Structure 1
């Protein structure tokens, strides 16, 4: 049997917890049964844990760029990105928004088509809007945005997670999903019509659901993925339920990309107390997705 290509794993910002997590995982990879991977940016000596600077940000950006090139050139079958400081890289690259957008640009994919999913043992959730202020969310939401990004989610649930007919629960924006317009009309004017369009295409989308009950245990068993309207509506329940095993997966790309769903943790870097669970989960999930895509090819 041909051994599969390795994954490319970046360290992220070398002043954060990425290097120590990857070092621990690499030493235990056989014990953990992880897919083969190579470390990109494996020369992070000289950086001080907990003390990020321009050099560490540059290292993180270059490592990400190199890892993506290795995947796009066919040397690796997916990329797992370590945590970076968005503000740190933005200080040296004004166009940098986040690793998701950077990956989309490298792949020649429109940024709206690169969809961030947070996946853990208890929940999968997708924020419809991501890195913007809460005050901007209503103006960013549209019928076309919800339909476009939910189509990508539905397709990826099949190709990447092996669910042929995924059940997709779509949250409302306002308290109590707007209460028939008494607390806002986004559900009536934007979200519900988008759901009608999706259902007409054969996608099993339901809602708009009140977000305050959507993530309760008895509700989570009724869907395969939840679509939230903004960043914290999606990430708060995921990090509450699966903080140590949450994985950030970028859907809609021609390549596989995952990342641990935690930050650089500069405050604990170098102290030997950072848990590797989320990075382990990200490497394992990238291998599983790559294998499913290969089987469908």
Structure 2
């Protein structure tokens, strides 16, 4: 890949007291043909490198040929010194600033994609910042409707609803809402994954997908009319399918993505099938955004034993999405 074509990825470590900084240091050791700029505190990254006994060179801008152990840094200082395993709410503002400044860079075109490490929602809220999640933060910043999708090498699972109590899920599923989600998912399968005519499996809400109305009416009244209308637009939609059999390997091979109606309907299967390599993707943003699919792991922070596989997968996924978007722009 030539320097003119090199991908420019922004990287946010997340909670400074968690495993994010040390995962970024491990990522820096890997050979790469993309430019990587981290938004965070130099002291936190250097401390993580020292604990791992790994080399780390922080530069003002990415080199034309990045060397192992080297990261470009945009400094976002913490308010107080960060101690592994002990998050401090006073650093919440720095965590949010790193996310918003990196995303601003993507919106301006300075970067092609964004990779984010794990954040601690409770600590951010304790720091006086109303925060429901990075997906929601980035969607509001970009002024876009988005869809959360988690993926590994086995399955891609998008969510019709995200972090809701179960009793609120049926009321949150509507024809208009499902149409918006499926259109975003369908466009992303084309633009971000290079699949021109994706096959999307849609799960029912109720056991046995409602069993013809005997176990609930959401399939008949909401899901089936939605799928019928979008099939008329040319989408390949399969369902509504019973969730307990939709993930059988033989069936999954025929799907490019699965839309689950709620968080714990689809994600336990994905995480069981390959948690270490799973990533969290925000569909619908003007730029690719991929996050690790794990938390801050405060109990592991500073011990040098955290598995970096999800961050490695997140960067590789983000890079592939950028390449796919570039290819689509070149052919549209």
**TM-score, normalising length: structure 2:** 0.85
Q: Per-residue displacement from partner, 1:54-83 (whole Å, max 9, x unpaired)? A: 123222111111211221222211110111
Residue 276 of structure 1 is matched in structure 2 by: 308
Of residues 247, 253, 262, the one that matches 1:215 is: 247
CA distance in 2, matches of 1:93, 1:163: 43
Alignment of 1:138 with 2:173, yes or no, is no
SS of match in other structure, 2:240: strand
Of residues 150, 155, 162, the one that matches 2:194 is: 162
SS of match in other structure, 1:131: coil
Contact 2:11 2:37 (C-alpha < 8 Å) held by counterparts: yes
Residue 175 of structure 1 is matched in structure 2 by: 207
Residue 285 of structure 2 is matched in structure 1 by: 253
Contact 1:34 1:284 (C-alpha < 8 Å) held by counterparts: no
Structure with more contact order per residue of length (Cα contacts < 8 Å, sep ≥ 6):
1
Alignment of 1:96 with 2:98, yes or no, is no
- Unaligned runs of 5+ residues in structure 2 are 45-80
Residue 319 of structure 2 is matched in structure 1 by: 287
SS of match in other structure, 1:258: strand
SS of match in other structure, 2:314: helix
Alignment of 1:40 with 2:39, yes or no, is yes
Larger radius of gyration: 2
- Give the length in aligned residue pairs: 291
Instruction: Give matches, 1:1-297, under 5 Å.
Output: 1=2, 2-28=4-30, 30=31, 33=32, 35-45=34-44, 46-109=81-144, 113-297=145-329
Task: Give the aligned CA root-mean-square deviation in angstroms.
Answer: 1.4
Contact 1:154 1:166 (C-alpha < 8 Å) held by counterparts: yes
Contact 2:19 2:300 (C-alpha < 8 Å) held by counterparts: yes
CA distance in 1, matches of 2:242, 2:18: 37
Contact 2:93 2:129 (C-alpha < 8 Å) held by counterparts: no
CA distance in 1, matches of 2:164, 2:33: 35
SS of match in other structure, 2:42: coil
